[in-house]
């Protein structure tokens, strides 16, 4: 396995299909005004990082496929009852 270091700065605000920056994305979803791509910003960042590695990741708009729904394994502390201990 080969590891490549990639600067993650700006990856959640860079469209993985057209590689253009999206000015001030709001919330957890990135919507690209240039190519109409839309996706969860964490997944967008992962796809963008993949395109920045040598020989890695899709480079065409049709190759980037992200799930529509992102579910988290743990509830955050902002949810009712999430911070309680089981002891």
User: pTM for the complete prediction?
Assistant: 0.59
Per the structure, how many domains does the chain have?
1
> Which has the closest alpha carbon to 48: 25, 18, 68, 70?
18
> Per-residue pLDDT tens for 5-30?
888 888 888 888 888 998 877 788 88
28-84 confidence digits (pLDDT tens) = 888 899 998 888 888 888 888 888 888 765 555 445 566 666 666 565 666 566 555
Residue 15's Cβ-count burial label (10 Å; 0-12, 13-18, 19+) is buried
In a domain, 32, yes or no: yes
Q: Is residue 69 part of a domain?
A: no
pLDDT at 70: 62
Let me know if residue 85 belongs to a domain: no
Which domain, by its residues, includes 16?
A: 11-63
In a domain, 79, yes or no: no
């Amino acid at each position: 396995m080969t590891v490549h270091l990639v600067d993650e700065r700006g990856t959640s605000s860079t469209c993985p299909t057209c590689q253009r920056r999206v000015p001030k994305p709001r919330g957890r979803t990135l919507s690209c005004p240039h190519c109409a791509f839309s996706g969860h910003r964490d997944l967008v960042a992962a796809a963008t990082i993949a395109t920045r590695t040598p020989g890695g990741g899709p480079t065409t708009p049709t190759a980037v496929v992200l799930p529509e729904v992102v579910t988290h394994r743990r509830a955050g502390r902002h949810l009712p009852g999430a911070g309680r201990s089981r002891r």
